[in-house]
Amino acid sequence: MIRNLNIILIFTSVFMLAGVYALKFSIENTASERTALIALIDSQEGQLSLVKADEAVLSQPGHIEPIVRRHQVALAIVPVKQEQFGAFGELPMRPVKPNTAAMDSLFESLEAGVDPIDAILELEGIE
């Protein structure tokens, strides 16, 4: 009986040892993938900072102005005029205050159970 139990324990130990060994290699693979991803992210962050620096230099007015002047005729570009933005006189006036008497009569008729919209819909033949 003890002999059979020892054999079972030996096989169980060997099986568990193989499982731990496989788990160890799995973790090492995951760690190497993580390291590779971190290196890739660092590389891409470096490229992004380079692109941002290039954008900052290329978008400066001192860099853009000679290019615009050189191609102004071909692109039919003209400086912006103040009239393009409009004037204060063109702004719409404030809306007129609502007719409170008409609104009060509407709410009174709705509270009384008469809907004036129903009368309009009946005149137009809409149910």
Question: What's the total number of domains in the chain?
Answer: 1
Q: Indicate the SS3 state at residue 19.
A: helix
pLDDT for 102: 87
pLDDT for 88: 86
Q: Is residue 110 part of a domain?
A: yes
pLDDT for 43: 97
Cα–Cα separations (whole angstroms), residue 25 to 13, 19, 34: 19, 10, 14
pLDDT for 20: 97
Q: Is residue 32 part of a domain?
A: no
pLDDT for 42: 97
Q: What is the pLDDT along the chain (127 residues), one digit of tens a residue?
A: 899 999 999 999 999 999 999 999 999 999 999 999 999 999 999 999 999 999 999 999 999 999 989 999 998 988 888 888 888 888 888 888 888 988 898 899 889 888 888 878 888 877 6
Distance from first CA to last CA of the chain, Å, rounded?
93
Contact in structure between 127 and 121 (CB atoms under 8 Å): yes
Full residue range of the structural domain in which residue 120 is found: 99-126
pLDDT for 91: 86
pLDDT for 71: 93
Q: Is residue 78 part of a domain?
A: no
Q: Is residue 1 part of a domain?
A: no
Q: Is residue 109 part of a domain?
A: yes
pLDDT for 24: 97
